[in-house]
Structure 1
Amino acid sequence: MDKVMSNKKIIALYVLPALLFIIAIVYVPIVLTGYYGLHEWNGIGSMKFIGLENYSAVLQDKDFWSSAGHSLLLAVFSTLSLVLYLAVALVLSSKIKGSNLLRKIYLIPMLLSSVAIAQLWMKIYHPTNGIINTLLEALGFTNTPEWLANPSIVLYALIIPIIWQYAGFYILIYYAALKNIPSSLEEAATIDGANAFQIAYKIKLPLAMEVIKVTIVLALVGSLKYFDLIYVMTNGGPNGASEVMASYMYRIAFKSYDFGYASAIGFFLLIICLVVTWIVRKLTATKEQIQYS
C-alpha cells in the first residue's frame, strides 16, 4: 500500500475524477459568469460584447449597494446570533435533564423547506390575524405595526425567521464540537474548584474555537448570498427595503431579462464573499492550535 501511495501517477489518477468534478461544477460556472458579465444579453438571443460596461455600471448602481447594505446587516445579525446558538449548545452539552428532547425540537426548522417557513412566518406577521399583533392588541397596543409592509422594520422582521431557521444547524455543530472535548478535562477543572462558567470560558470555548471560526465564515457568506425566504415573504419589498444582493440579481435576470448585468452582479457577489472570508480568516487566525488528547 505504501508503494502504491508513493507513486505520484497513481495519486494523480485517484485525485483526477474529483478534481474534474470540482472544476465542472465550481470553476467553470465562475468563469462563465465573469464572461457573461462582459456582454449585453437577454438570456436567449445572441450576446453583444460590451467590455467592462456592466461591471462599471454595478459600481455606480445605488440599488445594488443598497441591497449590499441589507445583506451586510443580515450578515452582522446572523453572526451575532452564533453567540446565542453557542450558549444553547453549552447548556445542552452540560447533561441537563431533557437535553435529548430539546435537541430534537431545535432541529425541527431544518426539516422544513424555506417556502414552508416563509408561509408560516407570513401568518405570524399578518397585520390583523397574526399571533404577534393579536398578542400586542391583547396587551393594549392599538397601532400594531405592519411587519412586512413597513420599510423601516421589514428587514429586522425578516432576520428573526432566518435566525430561527438555522438555529438547529449551528446548535448541532456546536454541540458535536463540545461533546468531542474529553470529559476528563472538565472533571479535573471541577476538582480544582472551577465553576461552570469558568469551565465553559477557559476550557470548552478555546477547544471549540476552530469550529467556531468555521461557523462564522458559514454565517457571513451564507447571509451575503441569502435569497429564498426573503423572496417568498417580501420579494425584496416594500420599495426595495428588504432587497438583498441575491434577490436583486434575480430580479435583474428574470424580470428585466438582463442576464449580462445580472452576471456582473453575481461576479461582484462572489468577490464580496471571498473578501469577507479572507478578512474573517485573518482576524481569527492564531499562531498555534490548541491540542488535546
Structure 2
Amino acid sequence: MTDNIASGGAATAAQTARSSRRSAPSKQVGALSRQRSKLYWPFIAPALVVYLALFFGPALAGFWISFQSWRGSGDQMQFVGTRNYVRLWNDTAFMTAFGNSMKILVICGVVIFVLAFLISAVLREMRFRKGLQALLFLPYIISPIAIGVGLGLLLDPNGLFNTGLRGIGLSSLAKPWLSPDRLFATILIGIVWVTTGFYVMLLMAGADRIPGYFYEDSQLAGANKFQQWWYVTLPLSWDVIAISAVLWVINSLKIFEFVYAFTGTTDAPPEQARTVPIYQFVMTMGGRNPAYQMGYGSAMGVVMVALVVVLVVLVRRVMRREAVTY
C-alpha cells in the first residue's frame, strides 16, 4: 500500500511538472499577445486618421452634396432631395456616357483578357519572353495624356497612319478614324492596345509560379498545349485571374485622361466619346464654360461608386473557387 501511495505521489508530481511546463509557454504567449494589443492602436491610429480625413470624410461629403444644388465655394447649398438622381435617369447625355463606360468595361474587357490569355500562352514557350513582356507593358507605364495625344495625331485624317497607307498604295484603307461615327470604336481599340500588356504581366506572374513538374506530368499523360493551359495553368493561377478581373472593373469605369487627350479638343470631348468621369468633369469644372453643378456631379460619383461595389462583389462571387495549394 505504501508503494502504491508512493507511486501515486510520483505520478502526481510528474503530471504537475508536465502541466507547469505546458503552462509556462502559454503564459509567455499570453503576455506577448497583451503587449501586441497595447501596440496595435498606437501603430494603426495615424494611418486610420489619414484614411478617415482624406478618403472617408470626402466620400461622406460627396454623398451629402449629391442631395444639394450647389455651384461650389462661395455659394449656398440648397437641399433638393433625390432630384439630381432623377435627373440622371432622364439625362440622355449621361445615359450615353454611362453606356460608353459599360462598353469599355464589357467589350474591351473581353478582348483584353482573350488577348492576354493567348499572348501569355505564347510567351511561355518563347526564349526572349522577358523582353517581349517589357515591350507589351511599355504603353501602360507611359502617361495616358501622352498616349492619347500621340494616337490622336497618328490617326488624324492627314496623320502618319493614313499618309503611310496612301504611300504604299492602300488608299482604300485610309479612313477618317476620328469622325463622329468611328471615334468611340477607335478609342476602344486604343484602350485595348494600351492596357493589354498590364494584364499579360499579371497572368504571366501567376503562371510563372506554377512548378514545372505539373507540365511535365501532363505531357507524359498526353496532354496538348491547350489541355495543359485548361487543366494546369488556368486552375493554378485562378486567384491571379480573379484579382485581374476586379482590377479591370475598377480601372475601366474611371478611364478619363486617355479619352480626353485622344479627342484632341481644347474644350470638352464630343458627346458620343464621353465616359461618365468625363461627363462628370464637364458638368462640374470642365470645358470653356464650366457648369459648376457640383450636386449633379456628386450624384454621378455616388452612382458609379455603388456600381463599382456591386460589380466587384458580383465578380468575386462568380469567380470564387476553392484554394488550390501546391
Q: What's the TM-score, normalizing by structure 2?
A: 0.81
Alignment of 1:132-143 (within 5 A): 132=162, 134-135=164-165, 138-142=168-172
2:94 matched to which residue of 1?
64
Instruction: Name the aligned partner's letter for residue 51 of structure 2.
Output: I
Aligned partners of 1:260 and 1:78: how far apart in 2? Answer: 31
2:32 matched to which residue of 1?
4
Aligned partners of 2:170 and 2:135: how far apart in 1? Answer: 32
| 1:178 and 2:213 aligned | no
Q: Deviations over 1:127-149 (max 9, x none)?
A: 12231464267444448432122
Higher gyration radius (CA): 2
Q: Identify the range of structure 1 (188-197 vs 244-253) with the bigger mean alpha-carbon deviation.
A: 188-197
CA contact (8 A) 1:137 1:144 kept: no
Identity %: 25
| 1:78 and 2:108 aligned | yes
2:20 matched to which residue of 1?
none
Instruction: Name the aligned partner's letter for residue 67 of structure 1.
Output: A
Q: Deviations over 1:215-242 (max 9, x none)?
A: 112112211111111111226643x111
Q: Identify the range of structure 1 (158-167 vs 65-74) with the bigger mean alpha-carbon deviation.
A: 158-167
Flag structure 2 segments of 5+ consecutive residues without an equivalent: 1-27
Alignment of 1:47-196 (within 5 A): 47-50=76-79, 51-80=81-110, 81-94=112-125, 96-132=126-162, 134-135=164-165, 138-142=168-172, 144-150=174-180, 152-196=181-225
Distance 1:40-1:20 versus aligned 2 partners, 3 A rule: same
Distance 1:256-1:107 versus aligned 2 partners, 3 A rule: same
Out of 238, 249, 253, the position equivalent to 2:280 is: 249
CA contact (8 A) 2:98 2:276 kept: yes
Aligned partners of 2:241 and 2:127: how far apart in 1? Answer: 26
| 1:290 and 2:324 aligned | yes
Instruction: Name the aligned partner's letter for residue 302 of structure 2.
Output: F
Instruction: Name the aligned partner's letter for residue 92 of structure 2.
Output: K
1:263 matched to which residue of 2?
298
Higher-RCO chain (CA-CA 8 Å, sequence separation at least 6): 1
Flag structure 1 segments of 5+ consecutive residues without an equivalent: none
Aligned partners of 2:184 and 2:279: how far apart in 1? Answer: 15
Aligned partners of 1:54 and 1:181: how far apart in 2? Answer: 51
Aligned length: 288
Alpha-carbon shift at residue 181 of structure 1 (Å): 0.9
Aligned partners of 1:113 and 1:5: how far apart in 2? Answer: 47
Alpha-carbon shift at residue 265 of structure 1 (Å): 1.1
Alpha-carbon shift at residue 20 of structure 1 (Å): 2.6
Aligned partners of 1:136 and 1:272: how far apart in 2? Answer: 45
CA contact (8 A) 1:34 1:267 kept: yes
Q: What's the TM-score, normalizing by structure 1?
A: 0.90
CA contact (8 A) 2:165 2:173 kept: no
Instruction: Name the aligned partner's letter for residue 60 of structure 1.
Output: N
Alpha-carbon shift at residue 12 of structure 1 (Å): 3.4
2:9 matched to which residue of 1?
none
Alpha-carbon shift at residue 19 of structure 1 (Å): 2.6
Distance 1:266-1:201 versus aligned 2 partners, 3 A rule: same
1:40 matched to which residue of 2?
69
SS in structure 2 opposite 1:253?
coil
Alpha-carbon shift at residue 262 of structure 1 (Å): 0.8
Q: Deviations over 1:105-153 (max 9, x none)?
A: 1122133111110121012211122314642674444484321222x22
Return the structure number with greater helix share.
Answer: 2
CA contact (8 A) 1:76 1:220 kept: no
CA contact (8 A) 1:78 1:219 kept: no
RMSD (Å) for aligned C-alpha atoms: 2.1
Instruction: Name the aligned partner's letter for residue 164 of structure 1.
Output: W
